[in-house]
Structure 1
Amino acid sequence: MEKTKLIYHTNSYTYECTARVVAVEGDAIALDATVFYPGGGGQMADRGSISWGNGDYEGNVIALSKRNDVIWHVLDCSPPAVGTEVVGTIDWMFRYKMMRTHTALHILCGTIWKEFGVQVTGGQMYPDRARMDFAIDNLDKERIAYIETKINEAVEADYPIRVYTLPREKAFAIPDLVRTKINLLPPMIEEVRIVEIVGLDLQADGGTHVNHTKEVGHIYITKAENKGRINKRLEIVLGEG
């Protein structure tokens, strides 16, 4: 089966595309191209719908998965047949919130790495907030206030964000490319996708992001939790973008 062209990897701002059904399994369809991000790395999967027959038929995408470079879209209706031309449309407001949130977490991660040199131990995005865990022993109120000031300085600096790929060997020659304590990149990946906040942060990453840090809006640190002697959690919410 041919690989799915991942339109969200080349342009996170694309919210609709035409594609062809290449396989059907139950209520799930595989397409030759998709705008739907299937979820991963703490980022939630996209929401949206797929229509066909000049819009006469439409189904909501209720689940997404990626298997062997193919994205599967589970519909809440009987799926179209192989060969059918369809139009996939994501919930743009939700996608854009995820883009802003994901970039906010990179700003947080990059700032804490730059200031304290500590790694990430976990992270998760939700519709209304996000959290990230760090291998750090001290996150008192003064330090949290300092971090919040620094991350919002990065937002206001309006750093550009570049997304590109590098051969695996060249990518891993970059110091500190992987910020998690455990390298989660499968060994079979030959090309590594890089997300760079120019002037602040550079990481291997597969999610969707905005083009400039100012798009993120103000970042508020709303909660800090102790998850172990050297494991602390910060929760963030975003202001209006």
Structure 2
Amino acid sequence: MSRYLCHTEPDCFNFEANVLARRPNAVLLDRSFFYPGGGGQLADRGTLQWNGGQVKISRVEMEGGNAWHCFDEADIGATPAETVTASVDPEFRSLMSQLHTGLHILNALVYQRFEGSLVTGVQMAADGTARIDFDLPEVDNNDLRKLEPELNTLISDGLQVNALYLDAAALAREPGVLRSRSVAPPPQGDGTTRIIEIVGLDRQACGGTHLTKTSQSAPLRILKIENKGQHNRRIRIGLVK
């Protein structure tokens, strides 16, 4: 995959684009700053506008290297013009970025405290909650709950969050950056892998959107811890509103 424009220009929320193809409830654009979703993160939301019309984009569907921008159900049947003005919802992007950055901090704490435990699943939700599953067969749930104060201290510390790209040789020298037991972010078109670094805390492979400083996030609360099978431990978190 080539690098997403939302990664290279993360502050671009409004742009013009040409419609390359259509189908009943979606269009394919010649460029897009929408994050298409993946790795447990929901796709960006927003709108497409043109002279005489507007539709809401409720999701993005990837087919091969093509990102189809899908209309809200109320707008199905609309016909966008050849050129549209697209707007990414910045509040929804921020919500997803806060959750994703917070999950990285929690992931780092679990990885450091509990012998390199790997992630077995992640899902973020539009209501400001998320869950992350770890391979943690023998850890007491109370020990996981005790991570909440440190999690929020690291958020308030305002640690810098950077994105960098490692080639295969550099990636092999940092085995701890691949944290999922079963999946890894797809490589970029040049063969590199995107890494999210929380300076002084953590580096791990990731294709999602993130904050630039941890202090841009609201505090997080550990809502629930569940045992899922013999090995999986599920931690549910939520942004404090």
Could you say which TM-score interval applies, normalised by the shorter chain? 0.7 to 0.9
Higher alpha-carbon deviation: 180-189 or 35-44:
180-189
| 1:86 paired residue among 71, 84, 87 | 84
2:119 partner letter: V
Q: How does 1:7-156 map to 2 (within 5 A)?
A: 7-53=5-51, 56-75=52-71, 76=75, 77-80=77-80, 84-116=82-114, 117-128=116-127, 129-156=129-156
Deviation string 1:136-181 (CA, Å, 9 cap, x unpaired) is 1244353123211221221122110001223344334322121011
Moved over 4 A (4+): 186-189
1:79-109 CA deviation, whole Å, 9 max, x = no partner? 335xx22111122212111110110101110
Provide the residue aligned with 2:174 in structure 1: 174
Match of 2:147, SS?
Answer: helix
Residue 65 and residue 46 in structure 1: after superposition, are their counterparts in 2 closer, same or farther (change >3 A)?
A: same
The answer on whether the counterparts of 1:5 and 1:32 sit within 8 Å (CA) in structure 2 is no
Partner in structure 1 of residue 225 of structure 2:
224
Measured in 2, the distance between the counterparts of 1:89 and 1:172 equals: 39
Q: Is the 8 A contact 1:4 1:71 kept in 2?
A: no
What's the TM-score, normalizing by structure 2?
0.88
Distance 2:187 2:37 in 1: 20
Cα distance in 1 for residues equivalent to 2:11 and 2:166: 22
Alpha-carbon RMSD: 2.2
The SS at the match of 2:184 is coil
Gaps of 5+ in 2: none
- CA offset at residue 5 of structure 1? 7.2
Structure 2 CA distance for aligned equivalents of residues 204 and 237 of structure 1: 23
Q: In percent, how many aligned pairs have the same letter? A: 35
5+ residue gaps, structure 1, are none
Alpha-carbon distance change, 62 to 157 in structure 1, aligned in 2, over 3 angstroms: closer
Task: Say which SS state the counterpart of residue 39 (structure 1) adopts.
Answer: coil
1:121-147 alpha-carbon deviations (Å, 9 max, x no partner): 111001221000111124435312321
Letter in 1 for 2:165: T
Say if 1:70 and 1:172 are closer, same or farther in 2 by CA, change over 3 A. Answer: farther
**Matched-pair contact (CA < 8 Å) for 1:23–1:31:** yes
1:141 to 1:180, Cα distance in 2 relative to 1, 3 A: closer
Change (3 A) 1:20 1:4: farther
Tell me how far apart the structure 1 counterparts of residues 165 and 65 of structure 2 sit (CA, whole Å).
16
Preserved contact between residue 135 and residue 230 of structure 1 (Cα < 8 Å): yes
Q: What's the counterpart of residue 184 of structure 1?
A: 184
CA distance in structure 2 between the aligned counterparts of 1:205 and 1:142, rounded to whole angstroms: 28
Most deviating of 178-187 and 56-65? 178-187
Task: Give the TM-score of the pair, scaled to structure 1.
Answer: 0.88
For residue 69 of structure 1, report the CA deviation from its aligned partner. 2.2
SS of 2:96's partner is helix
Deviates more, 1:213-222 or 1:101-110: 213-222
